[in-house]
Amino acid sequence: MNISFIAMNRMVEQKIASDPGYAARIRADRRPVLSDLRNLTVEALLAKARLLMRLDLDKERLRPRSQ
């Protein structure tokens, strides 16, 4: 069975909301969830993408692709 990233994230975020121990383990392991990324500024999100995925992105080069 294949589970999409979005579905898996939804399950993890529901478990985080209902289980403080699980939430603490996720935070301690520094595992990202989409709600963490939604709270970042565009600049912070691009910096994280550059760091984690070694992507060469900047706001000006990304703008034409998002319109």
- Mean pLDDT score of the chain: 84
Structure tokens at 2: 């294949």
- The pLDDT tens digits for 33-59 are 888 888 888 888 888 877 777 766 666
* Full residue range of the structural domain in which residue 62 is found: 5-66
Residue 13: which residues within 8 A CB-CB, separation 6 or more? 33, 34, 35
Please count the structural domains in the chain. 1
Q: How confident is the model at residue 26 (pLDDT cuts 50, 70, 90)?
A: very high
pLDDT reading at 21 higher than 70: yes
DSSP classification of residue 54: -
Buried/exposed 36-45: b ≥16 CB within 10 Å, e otherwise: eeeeeeeeeb
d(CA 67, CA 56): 19
Can you give the pLDDT at residue 39? 86
Residue 62 has pLDDT above 70, yes or no: no
